[in-house]
Amino acid sequence: MDTIGTGVLVRGEAELFAATAHLFANAAEIACAAADLNTWVTTRRASPSSAGPGPHKIRKLYRPGVLLEPERAEHLYAMERLGAGVRITRDEILETIILDNRFAILAGDRAHGERAYRVVDEAGLVRNIVSLFDAAWRAGTELSLYDAEFAEVRALAPRILDVLASGCKDETAARTVGLSVRTYRRRVAELMSALGATSRFQAGVRARELGLV
């Protein structure tokens, strides 16, 4: 654990859990933004056990890739049933957890398989992070509405990923998947966006990271 600039820098999920468990234990309001369910695995142990009726207000904002697997999509619905607000955004987001608008945990890049996190409590910086989250939350789409639009992409994702991995031409891939070339290319673009990928190769890499292929 290092104190660098504003806040404390921790390395790895175990160190993050040790540094923040007490913050989660006392939090009345939690806001979370993440690209997928893997970003904050350890902090789930520290968060309140129930998002149901009570003092806790929980908002979760995710990128579309979290909906690619039915099991993960069901996990989001389970959070909603427990009382959490869940929205999906196509926009790039700052992966962060905000506790009572007083503390923020920022997820950094992975290095050598271990991710770094910064825990900050400087009031001005936290206010800025809260403003960014609130803007992204307002622009996000309710889970059920987005999921209804995303259903076809999720259903086709395994087959599209397979043909992308084969390296075949779009015309051949489209026939394999059973789509027109135009629709196939649109679905590929939507899948890349959901995975946060800027190329088809990167989409394959990201899919492997998420355990989709």
Angle at 185 between CA 89 and CA 193, to 5 degrees: 20
Based on the fold, state whether residues 105 and 169 are members of the same structural domain.
no
Angle at 189 between CA 40 and CA 140, to 5 degrees: 45
Based on the fold, state whether residues 151 and 133 are members of the same structural domain.
no
Domain total of the chain = 2
Based on the fold, state whether residues 84 and 152 are members of the same structural domain.
no
Burial grade of 13 (CB within 10 A; 0-12, 13-18, 19 or more): middle
Q: Taking a C-beta distance cutoff of 8 angstroms, is the pair 35, 93 a contact? A: yes
Q: According to the model, what pLDDT value does residue 43 have?
A: 55
- 178: its two tokens: 């059973």
* Full domain range(s) for residue 201: 146-209
CATH of the domain at 157: 1.10.10
Based on the fold, state whether residues 176 and 105 are members of the same structural domain.
no
Question: Which residue, of 139, 165, 183, is where some domain finishes?
Answer: 139
CATH of the domain at 38: 3.30.870.10
Based on the fold, state whether residues 125 and 174 are members of the same structural domain.
no
Based on the fold, state whether residues 177 and 85 are members of the same structural domain.
no
Tens-digit pLDDT profile for the chain (213 aa)?
554 446 788 888 888 888 899 999 889 999 999 988 877 765 555 554 444 444 479 999 999 888 888 888 899 999 999 999 999 998 888 999 999 999 999 998 765 667 889 999 999 999 999 999 999 999 999 999 988 888 888 888 888 888 888 888 999 999 998 999 999 999 898 888 888 788 888 888 878 777 676
Q: According to the model, what pLDDT value does residue 55 have?
A: 43
Task: Fill in the amino acid letter for 106.
Answer: L
Question: Which residue, of 139, 169, 193, is where some domain finishes?
Answer: 139
Task: Fill in the amino acid letter for 151.
Answer: A
Question: Which residue, of 139, 156, 176, is where some domain finishes?
Answer: 139
Based on the fold, state whether residues 105 and 157 are members of the same structural domain.
no
- 194: its two tokens: 């959901």
Based on the fold, state whether residues 21 and 90 are members of the same structural domain.
yes
Based on the fold, state whether residues 91 and 32 are members of the same structural domain.
yes
Written as one string, the DSSP assignment of 97-130 is EEETTTEEEEEEEEETTEEEEEEE--HHHHHHHH
Based on the fold, state whether residues 121 and 197 are members of the same structural domain.
no
Determine the angle formed by the axes of helices 181-195 and 143-166, rounding to 10 degrees.
110
Based on the fold, state whether residues 171 and 205 are members of the same structural domain.
yes
